[in-house]
Amino acid sequence: MMRKTCKAIFAAGLLASLLTFQTAYGASPIANGATMIIRVDENGQTQRENLENGTSGEGQAANGGAGSLTGTDTSAGAAASGDQTAAGTDAGAVVSGDQTSTGADTAADLTQAGTAADPTQPNVAADPTQAGAMTDPNASPDGTLPEGQTGELTEPLPETAQPVPQLPAGIRALDPTKPMIALTFDDGPYAPVGNRIMDVMNQYGGKCTFFMVGNRVPSYTAEVQRMVNEGFEVANHTQDHKYLNQLGADSIRAQVEACNNTIQAVTGVRPTLMRLPGGNKNSTVLANVNMPIILWNVDTKDWKNRNAQSVINAVMGKVKDGDIVLMHELYTSTAEAVEALVPALTAQGFQLVTVSELAYYKGLPLNPGQIYNSIP
């Protein structure tokens, strides 16, 4: 292909510059070993041809929990190694999309491969101003312009792309310098409330964690699938909302396992975090819940007051960076409160995050059988 390209360029007598380079191993978002040609055509436009097919889109982390950070739960192995496959998937999508695109406004910025964790985020690559910037021949080779004249890139090319280091599955790109709060919702799923929570979260770029009762999940499969599809965290609140301190070891394990199995069967994602019903615990519970146990440090008592303003008052002016807020997915008053809290907290500069995102950005490994009330 090199020979063919050069021949064409010289025959036309239009060559202004020709540059080939090898990217350093693993140091560039471009696939290892990728070769890129940059040339200026008769219209003065820079043409970049990435000669490496970066397609590596195989492998969804089907069993990947939403951001397993410990990797100690063997059932969440796919999540722990999900960095690799997820990275390959995202990077592959970006690179291959670039290779096949023909539109004038689709120049892909390959640096996006390292940061585009949230599928709801607008793709900067589609911004025509980005494409315009890349017409500068002195610009760093971080992208390619649409092809259309040589047609050479339609040839199948070897798959040698390496996965780009990326955020773990379920973790968005967030600003670690800004305060974060994890709003959490127990006892669902319950679509009439859960969908309202997700709607307002999405509107303000927030996410949250749902600790769900396994036996309720089959009644709300669409809602629970929506959670996963839109980047919310699905987590374990036992199969039957049993107070685990009243059970023996085998029953404790069965309650936890059945809930994980149920959620995984519906969503393809196995929870990596659990919350004890009532927060009730003893040494048997801690020894047999083989997952990090997420409790809370801000209790809205929404189940008791059933009043939106009371819930709002329990949060506004009281929460701080790293707090975990307890609410319940069952009450209309809670949905009303969340619809007020999300814009208000966002306006105060808080990032509304899942528990796994909070732990990730605070650098705290979450260990099985250990209790976390907040993650400052």
Catalytic residues: 186, 328
Give the SS3 label for residue 72. coil
| DSSP string over 263-312 | HHHHHS-----B--GGG---HHHHHH--S-EE--SEE--HHHH--HHHHH
Residue 241 or residue 362: which is nearer to Zn ion going by CB?
241
Q: Is 223 in the site for Zn ion (CB under 5 A)?
A: no
In one-letter notation, the amino acid at residue 151 is: G
Chosen residue from 170, 206, 277, 292 binding Zn ion by CB under 5 A: 277
Binding span for Zn ion by CB under 5 A among 32-40, 242-250, 258-266, 273-281? 273-281
What's the min distance (Å) between Cβ of 211 and Zn ion? Answer: 7
Chosen residue from 98, 147, 187, 357 binding Zn ion by CB under 5 A: 187
What's the min distance (Å) between Cβ of 79 and Zn ion? Answer: 24
What's the min distance (Å) between Cβ of 299 and Zn ion? Answer: 12
What's the min distance (Å) between Cβ of 221 and Zn ion? Answer: 20
b/e burial code for range 344-370 (CB count within 10 A of at least 16 → b): ebbeeebbbbbbbbbbbbeeeebeeee
Residue 165 or residue 278: which is nearer to Zn ion going by CB?
278
Residue 52 or residue 187: which is nearer to Zn ion going by CB?
187
Phi-psi region of 270 (alpha: psi -120 to 50; beta: other; left: phi over 0): beta
Q: How many residues bind Zn ion (CB under 5 A)?
A: 3
Residue 73 or residue 187: which is nearer to Zn ion going by CB?
187
Q: Angle at which helices 191-203 and 332-347 pack, to 10 degrees? A: 10
Binding span for Zn ion by CB under 5 A among 67-75, 123-131, 140-148, 186-194? 186-194
Q: Is 186 in the site for Zn ion (CB under 5 A)?
A: yes
List the interface residues with Zn ion, window 12-51 (CB under 5 A). Answer: none
Cβ pair 209, 185 in contact under 8 A? yes
What burial class does residue 258 get, using C-beta atoms within 10 Å of its C-beta: 0-12 exposed, 13-18 middle, 19+ buried? Answer: middle
Q: Is 189 in the site for Zn ion (CB under 5 A)?
A: no
What's the min distance (Å) between Cβ of 240 and Zn ion? Answer: 11
Residue 97 or residue 279: which is nearer to Zn ion going by CB?
279
Judged by the rule CB under 5 A, the positions of this chain that interact with Zn ion are 186-187, 277
